[in-house]
Structure 1
Amino acid sequence: MNIILHELKSNLKGFIIWAVSLGLLFWVASFEYEFMANSQEIAAAMESFDFLFEALAGTMVDITTPEGYLSLVSIYIYLPLAIYSGLLGSNIIAKEERDKTAEYLFTLPVKREKVILNKLVVALFYTVIINVVLLTITYFAFGQLGTSSSYNAFVFNMALGVLLTQLIFMGLGMAVSAILEQYKKAGSITIGILMGTFMLSILIGLTDKIDFMKYFTPFKYFSVDLMLEGDFKLIFIIIAFVLIIGSISSVFYFYKKRDLFI
């Protein structure tokens, strides 16, 4: 319990900075939606940019509705929250070596497995909390002109989809930190993989020729066009849980075997 409280306190500042910054970003973006919703001319003009809709939203959407406009700017939800969770997972494992506290921590009568378990609990806690906080802000920000059952369902589905995407990259970040001997590179490698899969998802949205590669990017497992339809595909759910469980299991396996830099 002391380790959990310590980790909660250590990661609280970062959580607050991310939550406040992204919350403000989402709220400001909602003002742009209010302008779009009241201007049919701009909405009609935007329809000519069908390639943009295909790349960002996966399908043509009506940007005069809250769910339509939110799906178009959902990149500002999926990507930042995935980055937050990826860095959280990476840093929460590497921080003992970075802060030179590994020697003290592991001289305590606590097994490495328990330390990792406590860190995992904290990482899961902050990942879920930032998802709930920011999707709640998003719900009220974009729904201020009125909501509907389709909007309510979409925000709920997207919250689940984003959360699963976050958990994939959280697990990846933890696994990279546990496996790498050079802990300082863990965060950059995690973000490199994340951005690579994100760019792949954008390319898939631009051309059908590489649609088969959607299985290699978590950003396509619960993409916004699927969330608009409430379509959680079984194959992607299975792949997501395999990646999450596999990466977290690898943390327990590799971390207890590696030499720590103290």
Structure 2
Amino acid sequence: MTLFRLECKTHTKTLLIWTIVVALLTLGLVSLFPAMKDMGLQQMDLKSMPKEMLKAFNLSDMAAFATIKGYFGYEFQYVMIATGIFAAMLGTNALSREESEGTITYLYAQPISRASIVSSKMLANALIYSLYWVVSMVVAFLVCLIFKESGASVSDLFKGFSQLTFTGWIMGLTFLGVGFLLSSLLSSNKSATSLSLGLVFLTFILGVVGKLKDTFKTLVYFSPVDTALPSAIFKSGIQWNYVWTDLIVLVLSVLLTFWIYRRKDLKA
């Protein structure tokens, strides 16, 4: 419990910074909706672009941009990428930071097993991510209510946000779990940021490639971001095949993290 509290305290400042920045970014993006709607964004001529390309970048239904759900669904996908980076950074820093900063010596002196170290850190970081995500989604929902078009259904919007909140939570936990797995293999957190960026952008690109051609469709399953793609969630609801894939990756990452860390030669 002491380690759990210490881990939460360590990330309190990071949590506040990320939450505030994402909230302001969401406010800024959504506040542009009335102006973009009046400009007739949905009438943009994209006929020259291949349909597969439009689908890959979630631009296939430009008419949806006339609604707050359609506009938010497209704009917020970039926030989802940032969210994945945040979750991955929490994971990749969690275990490797102790060795890198020399605080592993303090943990050695405590009556705590390696399994307890991993579980405490996982729970703490999962809580940090969950708080960030819930607050971010509440802010996004309220902002969308303020700037929604007249006649938009509040209940329909709430349903879409509820589904997005769930799938986004699963997406973030998946990146967090894979980050922990990478952290269990590292002896320093110096490369944690670059690994987090690489992990998220690589999987996102795999998702884009998977949507370009049916031959590569299976690549989408390697993209946790596509599990919680706002435009897809608002249009078709939860894609459970992607959710189950993420959950399998999450469970395997957690189990492998425990297995590797228990056998790791830690440096004091």
Greater mean alpha carbon deviation, residues 39-48 or residues 6-15: 39-48
Query: Relative to structure 2, which stretch is displaced further, 43-52 or 94-103?
Result: 43-52
1:242 pairs with 2:241: no
Secondary structure, aligned partner of 1:144: helix
Among all aligned residue pairs of Structure 1 and Structure 2, give the percentage whose two residues are the same amino acid: 20
Deviating runs (4+, > 4 A) in structure 1?
46-53
Contact 2:208 2:220 in 1 (8 A): no
Instruction: State the partner residue of 1:125.
Output: 127
- Counterpart position of 1:4: 4
Q: Which amino acid aligns with 1:18?
A: W
1:37-48 alignment runs, 5 A limit: 37=37, 39=38, 41-45=40-44
- The Cα of 1:105 is off from its aligned counterpart by 1.2
Deviates more, 1:158-167 or 1:138-147: 138-147
Residues in 2 aligned to 1:15 and 1:49: alpha-carbon distance in whole angstroms:
43
Going from structure 1 to structure 2, the CA distance change for 1:214 and 1:58 (only over 3 Å counts) comes to farther
Match of 1:24 in 2: 24
Any idea what SS the aligned residue of 2:9 has? helix
Q: Which runs of 5+ in 1 are unaligned?
A: none
Q: CA deviation at 1:257?
A: 1.2
Looking at structure 2, the residues matched to 235 and 94 of structure 1 have their Cα atoms a distance apart, in angstroms, of 32
Q: Distance in 2 between matches of 1:125 and 1:228?
A: 26
Matched ranges for 1:100-139 at <5 A: 100-139=102-141
Find the aligned partners of 1:241 and 1:181 in 2 and give their Cα distance. 27
Q: 1:12 to 1:104 in 2, by over 3 A?
A: same
CA RMSD of aligned residues (A): 2.2
CA distance in 2, matches of 1:72, 1:226: 9
Q: Is the 2:99–2:188 contact (alpha carbons within 8 Å) kept by the matching residues of 1? A: no
Report Cα offsets for 1:65-120 as digits up to 9, x if no partner.
11000111122221011100000011122221122110111221111111211111
Aligned equivalent of 2:163: 157
Whole-Å separation in 2 of the counterparts to 1:88 and 1:238: 23
Where in structure 2 are the equivalents of 1:178-257 lying within 5 Å? Answer: 178-181=184-187, 183-257=189-263
Amino acid at match of 2:67: T
Q: TM-score, normalised by structure 1?
A: 0.90
Counterpart in the other structure of 2:183: 177
2:33–2:68 Cα contact (<8 Å) kept? yes
Question: What per-residue deviation string (whole Å, max 9, x for no partner) do you get for residues 31-75 of structure 1?
Answer: 2112123x1533322665876752333641511211000111122
1:167 and 1:244 in contact (8 A); partners too = yes
